Amino acid sequence: MAGPIGKMIHLSHRLNFCLHSVLTKSTCNVYKFTSHWSQQAASIHLSTAVWKKRKTKEDRKKEKELKALGVDFKPKEKIHRKVVNVWRNMTLKDLAKSMGVDCDHLYEVMMYVDNSVNYDRPSSVIYDFQVIIDIIQKSGMKYMVINPTNSVADDSNGKDVERRYFVLFNHLYEVMMYVDNSVNYDRPSSVIYDFQVIIDIIQKSGMKYMVINPTNSVADDSNGKDVERRPPADPSVLMKRPPVVTIMGHVDHGKTTLLDTLRNTSVVKSEFGGITQHIGAFVVTLKSGEQVTFLDTPGHAAFSNMRSRGAHCTDIVVLVVAADDGVMEQTVESIRMAREAKVPIIVAINKIDKPAADIERTKNMLLAQGITVEDLGGDIQAVPISALTGTNVDNLTEAIVAQAEIMHLKADYGGPVEAMIVESKFDTHRGKLATALVQRGTLKKGAIVVAGQAWAKVRSMLCKKRLRRKGVQREKEYKDDSGEPRLNILLKGDVDGSVEALLDVFDTYTSALCRLDIVHYGVGQVSATDVELATLFNAIIYTFNTTLHPAAKTSAEELGVTVKQFNVIYKLVEDVKEEINAMLPHTYAEEVLGEANVLQMFLITDGKKKVPVAGCRCSKGVLKKNALFKLVRRNEVLFEGKLESMKHLKEEVTSIKKELECGLRLEDPSIEFEPGDTIVCFVKNKVPQFTDWNPPGF
């Protein structure tokens, strides 16, 4: 059965199709046929039509002659490229004429064409379009259906519906004869309950089909199978992978501080080569190129949740024990959890900077819990650290890498991804977000992922900056400000991309003169909560291409929070620079007003005391009584400060001009003068400082 070859038909998973809906769904070449049919003339394009021409009288005559000579007669093969016009209710004679053959040829071909009608006269009308196609094909010609809307004006205007369906259903009825089914679908309204029948009709018509999910239009060619994990990878494809580390320990023993230090030393002090940060997990790259993935969800909940899902996504547990407190309740619990999961432990004995820190006592307390550290003859590494100051934190990372080496951690980087969801949340702007720890394969944008009963298409993958500190810790840090200039910013942008771009710009800030902290950032309108946060951290709110929620506006006004709105990144960055500059303390530059040479010193009586006075002559500029003065002897400054008095002859004056003589008395009466000393009169002018931060491109 010839048909519209390669046509893709989308079916939804409904079973109770009626014939009518199949036809509608089939969009379909069948429909196109009827469209052709409904027109006065549709076109069938004979592209590279090749056939052997029937022998003409002349041919037969020639054949006879050649046969007599013992030579085979071969009628010439002709290649025709022509367009055959067909039309509704066309007769056999019309078709023969269009094809450039005679009716005899058509009768002959018709013997091989499947059809129930007996076309036995040149005037027989061919109602079935398929028959025409078959005749053309069986004649060794090719045909091409030209889209009537493109090639021929469709002036049917929806008329002739009856005829269309007549032809349409005829096609289906005809095809149905070759489809295996027990039901007699004899009316256009017949419902096809059997999905296979629909598929067979489409296939027998030479079309392809694709089953689509009715709710989300994604192809489901799973044939009812569920997604399954791949069998274990061939060891030859396995490659080294970074260890995944979870930090555990008793409350307040410094887990968050350690995570922060790990993150920040990498960036700020450049002790590590670089850092990639995610929400929920981050990767530290050491100078050596080694990488360590830290799950930044300290605490037991995350760990036990993962365990409860039967997952072992942690390779190493870093057990933080404060050296002043020693082993506490949750330390014991953490040890138990790590043991149950059969995850090796590295102990970080923290807070060694504290006077009350007792490393040996802590080690012995651990021993009592069955944790024998190397010093005490065991095989568990223990690294004394100060998470707060960063002392020995690099030794801790080295210890982790050493442990990972022993474990020979490897992964299969190829094929579909298998990952562990570490965190998930709903973001009003970005939608559903999940932090996934990829355990096998490579996650790609656009991949379709399944977790439990949920599935999703990966729209984007983010490497996110994290707030340095969180919660109470953070609040405390900001409140304990020791006077160091610091600009706190709360950033809101219209889309992820712009916020990301700005964060990247702020990342380039390194100046030691003033700290720059992004206390919070996000996408969308500024909310009242943002304003509260800004108050808490004494931050300026910067917006990029976004607005304030009315409630935020009111509370910003009430709380006196500065909100600066920008639509151009360049201007926003310039403004941040200006804010930084405004925070920098001024420096002072000296401006010399005049100089005087000391001619002699004499002593005057002030009450009971004798105080020295310099008899001078102004040699340069002017001397101003209220300005500052320096006494310089052989390039050495012996005094810097104010005058007690300035006299010209006997009178107290406020200034002395060049070449005038004067008596100058310093505020420090212990300073004595010598002839030849220089007294310099100067003022200190405030000079604003400017940040040397010049982000690339700004």
Minimum CB–partner distance for residue 490 and ligand GTP (Å): 22
Nearer to ligand GTP, 139 or 261 (CB): 261
CB 489 within 8 A of CB 576: yes
Nearer to ligand GTP, 35 or 350 (CB): 350
Nearer to ligand GTP, 250 or 625 (CB): 250
Nearer to ligand GTP, 141 or 323 (CB): 323
Chain residue at closest Cβ approach to ligand GTP: 254
Rounded Cα gap, residues 360 and 375, in angstroms: 10
Nearer to ligand GTP, 36 or 351 (CB): 351
Nearer to ligand GTP, 166 or 478 (CB): 478
Residue in the structure block whose two tokens are 């060794």 = 140
Minimum CB–partner distance for residue 249 and ligand GTP (Å): 6
CB 309 within 8 A of CB 302: no
CB 265 within 8 A of CB 314: no
Nearer to ligand GTP, 262 or 552 (CB): 262
Rounded Cα gap, residues 271 and 391, in angstroms: 12
Position 211, amino acid: V
Q: What are the backbone angles phi and psi of residue 23, rounded to the nearest 5°?
A: -65, -40
Residue 6 class from Cβ within 10 Å (0-12 exposed, 13-18 middle, 19+ buried)? exposed
First CA to last CA distance, the chain: 69
**Binding interface with ligand GTP (CB under 6 A):** 249, 251-257, 298, 350-351, 353-354, 386-388, 473
Minimum CB–partner distance for residue 354 and ligand GTP (Å): 5
Minimum CB–partner distance for residue 292 and ligand GTP (Å): 19
Q: Which residues pair with 457 in a beta bridge?
A: 448
Minimum CB–partner distance for residue 323 and ligand GTP (Å): 8
Nearer to ligand GTP, 7 or 255 (CB): 255
Record the tokens describing residue 182, joined without a space.
């027990």
Cα–Cα distance list, 106 to 85, 94, 113, 223 (Å): 16, 11, 10, 45
> What HEC string does 220-274 produce?
CCCCCCCCCCCCCCCHHHEEECCCEEEEEECCCCCHHHHHHHHHHHHHHHCCCCE
Rounded Cα gap, residues 575 and 577, in angstroms: 5
Minimum CB–partner distance for residue 262 and ligand GTP (Å): 12
Q: What are the backbone angles phi and psi of residue 286, rounded to the nearest 5°?
A: -80, 165
Rounded Cα gap, residues 278 and 520, in angstroms: 16
Minimum CB–partner distance for residue 426 and ligand GTP (Å): 24
Nearer to ligand GTP, 396 or 646 (CB): 396
Nearer to ligand GTP, 22 or 387 (CB): 387
Cα–Cα distance list, 188 to 22, 30, 90, 166, 349 (Å): 10, 15, 25, 9, 81
Nearer to ligand GTP, 168 or 382 (CB): 382
Helix or strand run (H / E) with residue 78: strand 77-86
Which residues 6+ apart lie within 8 Å of 670 measured at CB? Answer: none
Rounded Cα gap, residues 52 and 489, in angstroms: 84
Minimum CB–partner distance for residue 328 and ligand GTP (Å): 11
Nearer to ligand GTP, 53 or 300 (CB): 300
Rounded Cα gap, residues 172 and 27, in angstroms: 14
Minimum CB–partner distance for residue 265 and ligand GTP (Å): 13
CB 19 within 8 A of CB 172: yes
Nearer to ligand GTP, 299 or 695 (CB): 299
Taking residue 558's Cβ as centre, other Cβ atoms within 10 Å add up to: 10
Minimum CB–partner distance for residue 547 and ligand GTP (Å): 35
Q: Which residues pair with 238 in a beta bridge?
A: 412
Minimum CB–partner distance for residue 387 and ligand GTP (Å): 4
Angle at alpha carbon of residue 12, lines to 8 and 13, rounded to 5°: 130
Report which of 680, 229, 625 is spatially closest to residue 412, judged by C-alpha positions. 229
Minimum CB–partner distance for residue 694 and ligand GTP (Å): 33
Nearer to ligand GTP, 251 or 448 (CB): 251
Minimum CB–partner distance for residue 325 and ligand GTP (Å): 10
Pairing verdict, β 651-652 and 643-648: antiparallel
Minimum CB–partner distance for residue 350 and ligand GTP (Å): 5
Angle at alpha carbon of residue 55, lines to 52 and 56, rounded to 5°: 130
Minimum CB–partner distance for residue 270 and ligand GTP (Å): 21
Angle at alpha carbon of residue 493, lines to 490 and 497, rounded to 5°: 120
Minimum CB–partner distance for residue 389 and ligand GTP (Å): 6
Nearer to ligand GTP, 383 or 580 (CB): 383
Nearer to ligand GTP, 355 or 560 (CB): 355
Taking residue 93's Cβ as centre, other Cβ atoms within 10 Å add up to: 15
Rounded Cα gap, residues 135 and 106, in angstroms: 7
